[in-house]
Amino acid sequence: MFENFSPMMLALFGTSLWETIVMVGISGGIGGLIGIPLGVFLRLTDQGGVLAHRPANALVGALVNAVRSTPFIILLVAIIPFTRLVTGTSIGTWAAIVPMTLAAAPFIARLVETALREVDNGLIEAAQSMGASTWQIVWKVLLPEALPGIVAGLTISFVSLTGYSAMAGAVGGGGLGDLGIRYGYQRFLPDVMLAVVLILIVFVQAIQSFGDWAVRRLSHR
């Protein structure tokens, strides 16, 4: 077993792992920058929110749900023209980041909205009674109180993006998924496929462990 692991194959594993890290890191980071404000907006405009506005909440919520309900592999193919417009190509690591980011943002938004719902309304009402603005309520009450839940949600998102990155390999997206498909499946090298799976398991475990540690630290501030 593992007799196919030549220096060239090991180099491919290193390159593929780095591509996976880049895809997950960048798409998760940009998805968070989009998804967190989106989740805050959904919470503020929800019924009973500080800026309750049912039509705006329903419209944005519908768009978020529409993207979330689209299977990633379909989204990946459906937005190829947009991906090509943004990156100049429809294959490779950078091309995979576009659909991964679009898939991550609404997912993160809903997780952030859920975390913000857990904040005690009494804290918000107390801040309002002291004359706090909406901006102050968001930055000094909602986000600090919901931070452990938001970090837990981001951890889940990064784990999901790891699966998306492997799926992107099916259409030449690069990363460990691409390596597993091209060598493990198409060239009938089961040891390569097994190694890819093991690396992905360790990668996901590392993300989850770090996220759990961060949540514990934030919960005991």
For 26-44, letters b (16+ CB in 10 Å) and e give bbbebbbebbbebbbbbbb
The amino acid sitting at 121 is: N
Domain ranges of the chain: 25-219
Rounded distance between C-alpha atoms, residue 115 and residue 151, angstroms: 9
The dihedral of CA 90, 17, 33, 114: what is its sign?
A: positive
- Residue 104 pLDDT: 96
* pLDDT tens digits for range 128-181: 889 888 899 999 999 999 999 999 999 999 999 999 998 887 777 788 988 888
- Residue 208 pLDDT: 96
* Residue 9 clears pLDDT 90, i.e. is over it: no
The residues near 130 (Cβ < 8 Å, ≥ 6 apart) are none
- Residue 33 pLDDT: 97
- Residue 174 pLDDT: 82
* Residue 4 clears pLDDT 70, i.e. is over it: no
Q: Which own/partner contact pairs does 89-92 have at CB distance under 8 Å and 24+ positions apart?
A: 91/171, 91/172, 91/173, 91/174, 92/172, 92/173, 92/174
Rounded mean pLDDT, 19-46: 95
Q: Tokens 């989009």 appear where?
A: 34
Q: Is the CB of residue 151 less than 8 Å from the CB of residue 133?
A: no
Rounded mean pLDDT, 97-110: 95
Whole-prediction pTM value?
Answer: 0.91
- Residue 3 pLDDT: 60
Q: Is the CB of residue 161 less than 8 Å from the CB of residue 104?
A: yes
Rounded distance between C-alpha atoms, residue 48 and residue 76, angstroms: 36
CATH of domain 25-219: 1.10.3720.10
The dihedral of CA 142, 145, 147, 153: what is its sign?
A: negative
